[in-house]
């Protein structure tokens, strides 16, 4: 395994294990700072949206127009971009709304947890959330890995954005388990394990796509990644950010995410 592959898998491990931060928040704090969470989610959305339209989608177009010419390459880029949106949308639809970590956790539920007798239903909810995260994290692991393989600096930016957005998903696993059992450590461990799908997606991508990676494959995957990240931003991150905080906090986080991403691209990419 060469350095690029190992580094790209390392980025996916970093992004995936961020779900454990959600469990760690429950372990360390009695109350979650929802305003800070709102800014962080807005920041992650800003990073994803900016890098998708400014860097990833144009990069996909360069790869594909080089291989197929301007007209055909533009059409393939366009189709692959919306195919990425369609793919993640279908994945969301396949997971029941109540068990989907991409659905909003209410602000009130994050602020308080009424501990009663052990509830098998709540434990099941936590386990189902973990399964749902497993499904959702696979394409995110692929995105982080492929980006890191082709451009490590870009892979770092995407890994950070994915990691931030994985934090509330970790909370969605840890919270019901904690509320049912009163055991914060168990919630932390479950949330940490649920994030391992991210590097699994990277490893599977390496094993199955590694021998075939070329300009065309990179171009199509980049366009798919852009579509996936834009969909996640508008369908999950921004609605969640507005739910947890105030509108201006969401926009502040969004603008800061775009600015930081823009500066990092100018300086390092």
pLDDT digit string (tens) for 23-33?
Answer: 787 777 666 66
Backbone torsion region of residue 182, taken as left when φ is above 0, otherwise alpha when ψ lies between -120 and 50, otherwise beta: left
| pLDDT tens digits for range 136-149 | 666 677 778 877 87
Q: What's the whole-number mean pLDDT along residues 116-139?
A: 57
Average pLDDT, the chain: 76
Q: Does residue 117 register a pLDDT over 50?
A: no
Three-state secondary-structure class, residue 30: coil
Backbone torsion region of residue 105, taken as left when φ is above 0, otherwise alpha when ψ lies between -120 and 50, otherwise beta: beta
266 C-beta neighbours (distance < 10 Å), count: 8
Model pLDDT, residue 187: 75
Instruction: Identify which has the larger pLDDT, 269 or 246.
Output: 246
Model pLDDT, residue 104: 46
Q: Does residue 246 register a pLDDT over 50?
A: yes
| pLDDT tens digits for range 174-213 | 776 676 666 777 778 877 877 777 787 777 777 777 677 7
- What is the enclosing helix (H) or strand (E) of 212? none
Number of domains in the chain: 1
Q: What's the whole-number mean pLDDT along residues 31-43?
A: 76
- Is the full-model pTM beyond 0.85? no
Sorted by sequence, the CB contacts under 8 Å of residue 80 that are 6+ apart come out as: 60, 219, 220, 223, 224, 227
Sorted by sequence, the CB contacts under 8 Å of residue 130 that are 6+ apart come out as: 173, 190, 191, 193, 194
Domain range holding 13?
3-268
């Amino acid at each position: 395994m060469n350095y690029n592959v190992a580094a790209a898998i390392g980025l996916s491990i970093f992004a995936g294990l961020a779900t454990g931060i959600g469990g760690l928040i429950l372990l360390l704090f009695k109350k979650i700072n929802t305003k800070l969470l709102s800014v962080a989610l807005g920041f992650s959305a800003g990073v994803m949206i900016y890098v998708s339209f400014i860097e990833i989608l144009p990069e996909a177009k360069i790869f594909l127009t080089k291989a197929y010419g301007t007209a055909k390459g533009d059409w393939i880029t366009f189709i692959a971009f919306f195919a990425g949106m369609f793919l993640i949308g279908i994945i969301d639809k396949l997971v029941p709304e109540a068990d989907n970590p991409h659905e909003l956790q209410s602000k009130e539920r994050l602020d308080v947890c009424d501990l009663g007798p052990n509830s098998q239903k709540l434990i099941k909810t936590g386990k189902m959330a973990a399964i749902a995260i497993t499904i959702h994290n696979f394409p995110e692991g692929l995105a982080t890995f492929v980006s890191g393989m082709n451009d490590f600096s870009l892979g770092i930016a995407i890994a950070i954005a994915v990691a931030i957005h994985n934090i509330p998903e970790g909370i969605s696993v840890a919270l019901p388990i904690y509320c049912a059992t009163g055991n914060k450590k168990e919630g932390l461990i479950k949330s940490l394990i649920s994030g391992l799908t991210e590097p699994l997606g990277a490893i599977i991508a390496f094993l199955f796509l590694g021998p075939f990676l070329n300009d065309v494959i990179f171009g199509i995957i980049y366009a798919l990644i852009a579509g996936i990240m834009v969909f996640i931003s508008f369908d999950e991150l921004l609605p969640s950010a507005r739910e947890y905080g105030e509108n201006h906090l969401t926009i502040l986080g969004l603008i800061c995410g775009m600015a930081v991403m823009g500066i990092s691209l100018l300086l390092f990419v």
